[in-house]
Chain A
Amino acid sequence: MTDRMARVVDILIHSFVPLLKAGLAFTVPLAIISFVLGIAIAFIVAIVRISHIKPLAAFAGFYVWIIRGTPLLVQLFIIFYGLPSIGITLDAMVSGIIGFTLSVGAYSSETIRAAILSVSKGQWEAAHALGMSKGQALRHVILPQAIRVAVPPLANSFISLVKDTSLAAAITVTEMFQVAQQITARTYEPLWLYSEAALIYLLFCSVLAYLQSRMEVRFAKHL
């Protein structure tokens, strides 16, 4: 029994650095890059849907419909395993970034749209009365207020995304969960290895949750 314990402790200690490395080299960049690109898409989609530019709004609505109506894992498989058969072969990490970006873009567009619509009509009117164009009003009056509304739910989305990146293991991205699987295959200690990986996810997410609460305090001012 003590021998087993000693072995497990040894494995956990030796796997900690590779897991953390995989987390910092793949999980975190995958989450951050996808989130930044996804928010950019989400913002464009939200504006297009609010502005009622007919064909574009229809396309944006179609995109949101597809992404929200199909499983993320299936989307990742289509991008990584499916596209090569029509001649588009993408690196696993690139496939992951595309998949997660599209997902963030669709889900967060609704958050951003709701945040923009939550700013009262009187704010648009006051901006218009000063002679501002729609774009100027959006940039200087509406968005600074909408951001305060959008930040808490977007921070939640980011925390979810960090955990969702573990799905990329299924398309061979060597992120944290994939590394945990590899070590498990060698050591046959799934309970301990996966728990260790879970602990590192928990660590990441706790740091993020702390940053989120700090940010919310900052944004809550003057409202």
Chain B
Amino acid sequence: MIRIENVYKSFGALEVLKGIDMTVGKGEVVCIVGPSGSGKSTLLRSLNHLERITSGRIFIDNVLLDDRQDDRDIQRPANREVNALCSEIGMVFQRFNLFPHLTALENVMLGPVVVKKAAQEDAKRDAIELLAKVGLSDKMDVYPSKLSGGQQQRVAIARSLAMKPKIMLFDEPTSALDPELVGEVLNVIRDLAKQDMTLLIVTHEMAFAREVADRVVFMDEGRIVEIDTPEKIFGSPSHERTKRFLGQVLNKSA
């Protein structure tokens, strides 16, 4: 589903990703953990062209998204193809990024109407269904500014799902939430994990990662240190750095 080959990314002189290799299978749930600044967001954002990698290759569904093997850029896909690929990859942001001028319902409808040219009625029917699924049937006509963080994030998830993506990327979806609102968002993601969707989740919720992930990636300083089953990573990590990081995080939340 996703194949990442030898990906490097620099911001100016700062090298943020230092040779990332990984593949994610269809329907797989992969959680990415690691200290702040280790490049987790940058990796996620490279998968839908919010960042352009410096070198390496990324394939989505066997289609080349990015090829920076050399400077010739021969195989670089056209913008339109990139947009098409990106519409198959949903992304949920830490800060929700809902459209403030639109109601919850309109937020969810906009993607299908604009990008897929869906008919208003169809888009509306789907949006109503999705908002019901995330438990917000009573908030359809409410503007984002009147919603709690947890509700906003659930609308944001519904908005992504409206595009019927094959892959969903979550970048610390609960980090901006008050503790009592974290659960409602994790519940929605948990439901998605049970379905056939491919999920990449950057999170600091270790208990959650342990529960939903098929595999857990531990990143540090722009590299993947370890990638394994949650039992292995959380039970008996093979690297000293993983152990130290988990020790710190688990102590903090205890």
Contact = CB atoms under 8 A, between A and B. Distances in A.
Interface of A: 120, 122-123, 125-126, 128-133, 136, 140-141, 144-145, 148, 222-223
Contacts of A140: 110, 114
B65 to A, nearest CB: 13
Contact of A130 (B95, B101, B144, B159): B159
Contacts of A223: 100, 145
30 contacts: A120-B97, A122-B95, A123-B97, A126-B91, A126-B99, A126-B156, A126-B159, A128-B48, A128-B49, A128-B50, A129-B86, A129-B89, A129-B90, A129-B91, A130-B87, A130-B110, A130-B160, A130-B163, A131-B86, A131-B87, A131-B88, A131-B115, A132-B83, A133-B83, A140-B110, A141-B110, A144-B101, A145-B100, A222-B100, A222-B143
Nearest to A131: B87
B62 interface: no
Contacts of A133: 79-80, 83
Contacts, number: 71
Contact of A125 (B80, B84, B93): B93
A131 B49 contact: no
B115 A136 contact: yes
Nearest to A126: B97
Interface in B56-112: 79-80, 83-84, 86-91, 93, 95, 97-101, 110-111
A78 B38 CA distance: 61
Contacts of B114: 130, 132, 136, 140
Given A222-B101, A222-B145, A126 B87 contact: no
DSSP majority for the A interface?
A: helix
List 7 tightest A-B contacts by C-beta distance, closest first: A131-B87, A130-B111, A126-B97, A129-B91, A122-B97, A222-B143, A131-B115
A136 B83 CA distance: 11
Contacts of A125: 50, 91, 93, 97
Interface of B: 48-50, 79-80, 83-84, 86-91, 93, 95, 97-101, 110-111, 114-115, 143-145, 156, 159-160, 163
Contacts of A145: 99-101
Contacts of B80: 133
Contact of B50 (A129, A148, A222): A129
